[in-house]
């Protein structure tokens, strides 16, 4: 398990609440195929996420998948992010980049939340969906650790949801950013767990 840089007053466990949801963030072809501008090899990640999905299904735990997609070919609906990150063209809706990785266990009946920015909460109705369903815990997997995962986790704890990050089911194109973000989240924003522990908990 990744440990925070300092344990003096940081890194306390929140624990799981009564009703979790598995949140699978942006496991789409734009990010899991290494030959794409934003991508890296997602083989190991998809395998880990599929273990979580299988456990959630067997345990009756709800699942939500997310993707980033833009309506405008000129990326005008991406705001300044399109200027900061000059490679968002693979995320225009209708293209292959916004499709779920075909290896991912995502069925046509699974809910898919479309977002335009890093946090799954920003500009979406995720918080109201979770509240109305009585969800109090988010088990978080997906991409990328330093980007959309971290942004979502920070918003989640601020909105009163317990974020549980499955540290071997999140990934980043930059390993230094991945490690630092895990340590930062463990210290201040989320509990970390392993795939094995999460599978056991979800399935039960």
Assigned domain for 166 exists: yes
CB 62 within 8 A of CB 70: no
For residue 15, the cross-strand partners are: none
Domain CATH code at residue 135: 3.40.50.850
Write out the H or E segment, with its range, that includes residue 200: helix 195-203
Assigned domain for 3 exists: no
Assigned domain for 9 exists: no
Domain assignment of residue 82, given as a range = 20-203
* Peptide bond between residue 144 and the one before it cis (omega within 30 degrees of 0): yes
Assigned domain for 2 exists: no
Contacts of 158 (CB under 8 A, 6+ apart): none
Assigned domain for 37 exists: yes
Per the structure, the count of domains in the chain is 1
pTM reported for the whole predicted model: 0.93
* pLDDT per position as a tens digit, 24-64: 999 999 999 999 988 889 999 999 999 999 999 999 999 99
* pLDDT per position as a tens digit, 70-100: 999 888 888 887 888 878 888 899 999 999 9
Catalytic residue among 23, 30, 38, 148: 148
> Is residue 120 among the annotated active site residues?
no
């Amino acid at each position: 398990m990744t440990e925070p840089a300092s344990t003096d007053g940081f890194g306390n466990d929140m624990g799981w609440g009564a009703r979790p949801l598995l949140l699978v963030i942006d496991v789409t072809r734009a990010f899991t195929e290494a030959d794409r501008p934003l991508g890296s090899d997602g083989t190991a990640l998809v395998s880990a996420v599929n273990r979580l999905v299988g456990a959630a299904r067997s345990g009756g735990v709800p699942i939500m998948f997310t993707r980033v997609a833009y309506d405008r070919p000129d990326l005008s609906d991406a705001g300044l992010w399109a200027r900061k990150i000059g490679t968002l063209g693979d995320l225009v809706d209708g293209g292959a980049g916004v499709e779920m990785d075909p290896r991912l266990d995502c069925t046509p009946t699974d809910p898919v939340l479309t977002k335009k920015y890093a946090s799954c909460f920003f500009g979406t109705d995720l918080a109201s969906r979770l509240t109305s369903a009585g969800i109090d815990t988010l088990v978080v997997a997906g991409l990328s650790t330093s980007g959309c995962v971290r942004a979502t986790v920070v918003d989640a704890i601020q909105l009163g949801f317990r974020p549980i990050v499955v540290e071997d089911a999140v990934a980043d194109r930059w390993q230094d950013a991945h490690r630092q973000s895990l340590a930062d989240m463990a210290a201040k924003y989320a509990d970390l767990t392993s795939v094995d522990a999460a599978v056991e908990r979800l399935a039960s």
